[in-house]
Amino acid sequence: MNNIVFNHATVRERADMLTFLDLCAERGMHTVSIWGDEIDKVGEDKALNRLRNLGLKVSGYNRIGPFTPDGLRVAEAELERAARFDSDHIFLFTGGLAKGDRDLIGTRNRAEDTIAGLLEKARSIGVKLAIEPLHPMLNGDRTVIASLAQANDICDRLGAGIGVVIDVYHLWWDPALEHEIHRAGLANRILGFHVNDWLVPTRDLLRDRGMMGDGVIDLPGIELMVRHAGYSGPIEIEIFSDDWWQREPSEVMDIALQRCRQIFHP
């Protein structure tokens, strides 16, 4: 399957960015999803040269955020680097509630204002902003956008240049998921489709994602929703897992590709 993207987070604990890019190229990948802090570790020039030498393109750039009062300047710098890497989209990571704050509605409104402030810059340099709703249990500390409906509403209000990323780990529970995927598809705003699995029991909300097929998510069913909504882009493998991070990166990637061939439609 050539229509597969690896997110560096899947193997980042044991493979720096240059090694990650080599591993992707060895497996016939054409596209990758990268992280700004991993670029910092190896140097931007080296990362760009390796990408170009291997003929790899960048789909997602992780990330802008968490949002802070002085974060607009930092966010614009990340946007500019995402453009230098010719990224299709850059992820927005709002962060959760500030210490002592209980005003979730107000925090959401401020987050949307920040996104709106970034959008003109993003449009001018040709990088799309990507909202990735996270599981509601992460509202307190990681993001205040917790459903695809919220993300769609923000996109409706802000217009062109912004879209959504559908991560099964965060959205599989939502009874309105099919409707909201269809809504995103009608607006042609689905920028990515991330896969992993939800383990039962889950020992850690952030660092215990499962390999596809090891959990309870109806992965083929959600993929059909996304495809029926008009998304023709790649499947992106993104697994945050203390267990899988302990294994050899090459082994993790080979198992993930095998699972994708077994689970998803050609």
pLDDT of 254 higher than 90: yes
pLDDT of 1 higher than 80: no
The pLDDT tens digits for 83-105 are 999 999 999 999 999 889 999 99
pLDDT at 72: 74
- Least trusted range by pLDDT, from 68-77, 198-207, 231-240: 68-77
The pLDDT tens digits for 44-80 are 999 999 999 999 999 999 999 999 876 778 899 999 9
Tokens of 124: 């001018």
Confidence label for 2 from pLDDT (cuts 50, 70 and 90): low
Q: pTM for this one? A: 0.97
Tokens of 13: 């604990």
The torsion angles phi and psi of 231, rounded to 5 degrees, stand at -75, 125
The pLDDT tens digits for 116-140 are 999 999 999 999 999 999 999 999 9
pLDDT at 73: 80
Find all residues with CB under 8 Å of 1, minimum gap 6, and list them: 235, 257, 260, 261, 264, 266
**CATH fold label, 4-263:** TIM Barrel (3.20.20)
Domain ranges of the chain: 4-263
What is the percentage of the chain residues whose pLDDT exceeds 70? Answer: 98
